[in-house]
Chain A
Amino acid sequence: MLRFVALRLVMALPTLWAVLSLVFVLVRIVPGDPALVILGDQATEQALVALRHRMGLDVPLWDQYLQFMAAVLQGDLGISMVRNRPVWGEVATVLPYTLELTFVGIFLGVLMGLPLGVLAAQHRGGWIDAVARWTSLLGLSFPAFISGILMLLLLAVELPWFPVIGNAPFANPPAHLRALVLPALNLGFIMVAYVARVTRSGMLASLSEDYIRTARAKGVPARLVVWRHALRNALIPVVTVVGLYFGILIGNSVLTEIVFNRPGLGKLIVGALNDRDYTMLQGLMVIYALVVVGANLATDLAYGAVDPRIRVR
């Protein structure tokens, strides 16, 4: 298992390099001169030169690329052009909020989606199957900001069960958890759609396998057959979909953070876009790149945990 983990780690490196290069290219293809955009038409030539120098834009592109890579490797994301503070510091203060939201969202999604998918497959064509189908359809259809707004209206405004603003510091655990419920449910609800769908079709396939009939024939209790024997084999596509969903989840977390007014990467990136804060933007994209590569790695490792055959390969 250790060798498997090490191998996957090494294999993630080229992806990381490629994604970081993409970030570099994306930020550089801005039409026009960033210094001019920031300082405006009235800026003096001296001010422009000074800013270009501060941003490292006065050296050849190739050197900029090397400097960028070297800085990222050293964990240096530069200084925010607008806030004048290190980007990494700004990110570090809100990152826990986003990570917490995404992980609880995934957890809730799997917690609700897996049983729903299993039950739907078990009672195929029955009412619970219909419930699962409609939940999936709704979850796939709801843009995250719309489900968030409707939840906010119903469960925070009409029925004042939860706070309207999802911003409560970690230092106050009860309030913090209460503020987390709606945003995390919002992310989880959309994820249920994906998880329930693949679990159902995976379960339908594995329930018709020979080894399930064998298990039934030798008198394994029905509950055990379904939840251990069959589910274990249906898990691989679930892991795949959770991994694939991660990119959508990140986009949805941005929208969710705006709707619930939660601190996090989402509010930071929208602020950076509005302020044209290029260094902050670049830093945030590096963070997103790291998160995505990390999620892919976690997905690969989860395959190994779910299916021992993959570890051997």
Chain B
Amino acid sequence: MAVGAIGAPKGIAGRALGNRSLMAGVALLVFIILLAVLAPWISPYDPNDQDAIASLGAPNAQHWFGTDFFGRDVLSRVIWGARVSLFVGAVSTAISMLLGGSIGILSGYVGGRFDQGVMAVMDVLLSFPQLIMGLIIVALLGANLTDLILAIAITAVPPFARVARGPTLSLKERDFVEAGRALGFSNLRIMLVHILPNVLDDLIVMGSLWLATAIRTEASLSFIGLGLPPPTATWGSIIREGFENLLDAPWLAVFPSLAVLIVMLALNMIGDGLRDATDPKAAVS
């Protein structure tokens, strides 16, 4: 992929700004985030207002995306659904980044038997299919917002731990860490101030890719029927209702599906672009 113009080598920010698909992804994502944040002001109707006469109405001038079985405005539900989907995705990714990152850095820094043990547990957790794991944890914990976020976060801890551990292993042998120890810094300070900043790049790239997975997992769980209880509008639950009325009202499934797809595309474009920007070799090869 061509990165920027030929000339002086640029920094990460420069390369990121020069990457067209990364910028397109950011623009798309910002657009969706704005929709979510501004939902109370821009959504044309209340997402839970029912209108029995308008049940399963096709898209028209009043209801751009049509109406669902209860006559609720699909456009409003998709806009409000963005809030839940993005919130669950972002918070669960943040939690798994924090937990996985801490476990990975600690495990790599301590090393030895401890490291082997922790990584063995992570590998076993990693070997179980992510969606199945999510299904079971949600079923065990229950389906309120906190537990749903926790369930999705737990499934992502092992990959983040791995990403953080790898560089930590080589970083702790480097001179500046040795110097910190010689100066009498505590292990905690070395991990937080000297190792974490060097691992952060990898964690953030991974986070942007994982955010897509987290949002997809939330939508999948809602679609299966294990998400937040009704009437809360989430993209997955709207798609599920659309799927149940697929033959009579295809728009009900299609519009929220497009919303999910746009966010997935945006995040994957950002993730790829960030990887290219932080790792110049990957961009050239």
Chain A: residues with CB nearer than 8 A to chain B? Answer: 15, 18-19, 22, 26, 29-31, 137-138, 140-146, 149-150, 152-153, 157, 201, 204-205, 247-248, 250-252, 254-255, 258-259, 269-270, 273-274, 276, 281, 285, 288-289, 292-293, 296
Contacts and interface: CB of A to CB of B under 8 A. Distances in A.
Contacts of A293: 127
A278 to B, nearest CB: 10
B246 A157 contact: yes
Interface string B130-150: 111001110111000000000
B224 A258 contact: yes
B129 A247 contact: yes
B261 A269 contact: no
Contacts of B137: 26
30 contacts: A18-B124, A26-B136, A29-B140, A31-B141, A137-B265, A140-B268, A141-B261, A141-B268, A142-B261, A142-B264, A143-B260, A145-B220, A145-B239, A146-B257, A149-B242, A153-B253, A157-B246, A157-B247, A247-B129, A248-B129, A250-B131, A251-B130, A251-B132, A251-B220, A254-B224, A255-B223, A273-B136, A281-B139, A292-B128, A296-B127
Given A145-B223, A150-B254, A269-B132, 16 more contacts: A15-B124, A19-B128, A22-B124, A30-B140, A137-B265, A137-B268, A143-B260, A143-B264, A146-B257, A149-B257, A157-B246, A157-B247, A248-B131, A254-B135, A285-B136, A292-B128
Given A29-B140, A255-B223, A288 B243 contact: no
A83 B285 CA distance: 56
B167 interface: no
Interface in B233-285: 239, 242-243, 246-247, 250, 253-254, 257, 260-261, 264-265, 268-269, 272, 285
Contacts of B254: 150, 153
A34 B141 CA distance: 13
A248 B243 contact: no
A26 B220 contact: no
Contacts of B132: 250-251, 254, 269, 285, 288
A204, A205, A258, most chain B CB atoms within 10 A: A258
Interface of A is mostly: helix
For the complex of A and B, 3 pairs with smallest distance between CB atoms:
A251-B131, A141-B264, A250-B129
A270 B138 CA distance: 12
A215 to B, nearest CB: 21
A56 B224 CA distance: 30
Nearest to A251: B131
A270 B265 CA distance: 28
A258 B243 CA distance: 10
A71 to B, nearest CB: 20
A265 to B, nearest CB: 9
Nearest to A158: B250
B124 A19 contact: yes
A259 B239 CA distance: 11
B127 A15 contact: yes
A290 B31 CA distance: 44
A18, A204, A205, most chain B CB atoms within 10 A: A18
Nearest to A284: B132
